[in-house]
């Protein structure tokens, strides 16, 4: 970071992830993969909806569909991409 660049902190708080229809998928592994992928995406692309300052969204709709998979890692990563799409303006506030 150069001298003229201000450090930016992005904080994304997600109170609860509710997944229905994914029986047999380890929720701890989904959560770990989700956290890792969302952190990577935010570091790489930021959170465009927060560019103007603090912003709070109670819920997002219109997000990309999740794949039908039994892989907790793939599900967590896909979920993170869907949430980041919403944080990038691709979803609709509910």
Mean pLDDT of the region 7-35: 81
State how far the alpha carbon of 60 is from the alpha carbons of 24, 46, 93, in Å.
26, 17, 5
On the question of pLDDT at 94 being above 60, the answer is no
Q: Say how far apart CA 24 and CA 77 lie, in whole Å.
A: 17
Q: Say how far apart CA 19 and CA 5 lie, in whole Å.
A: 40
Give the mean pLDDT of the chain: 76
Annotated domain spans of the chain: 27-93
> Residue 1: what pLDDT?
44
pLDDT in tens, 54-87: 666 666 666 667 777 778 998 899 889 888 887 7
> Residue 38: what pLDDT?
92
8 Å CB contact between 86 and 42: no
pTM equals: 0.74
């Amino acid at each position: 970071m150069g001298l003229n660049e201000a450090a930016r902190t992005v904080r994304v708080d997600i109170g609860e992830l509710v997944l229905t229809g994914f029986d047999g998928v380890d929720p701890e592994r989904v959560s770990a993969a989700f956290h890792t992928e969302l952190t990577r995406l935010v570091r790489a692309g930021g959170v465009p909806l927060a560019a103007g300052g603090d912003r709070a969204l109670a819920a997002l709709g219109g997000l990309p569909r999740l794949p039908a998979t039994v892989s907790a890692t793939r599900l967590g990563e896909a979920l993170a991409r869907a949430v980041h799409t919403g944080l990038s303006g691709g979803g609709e506030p509910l």
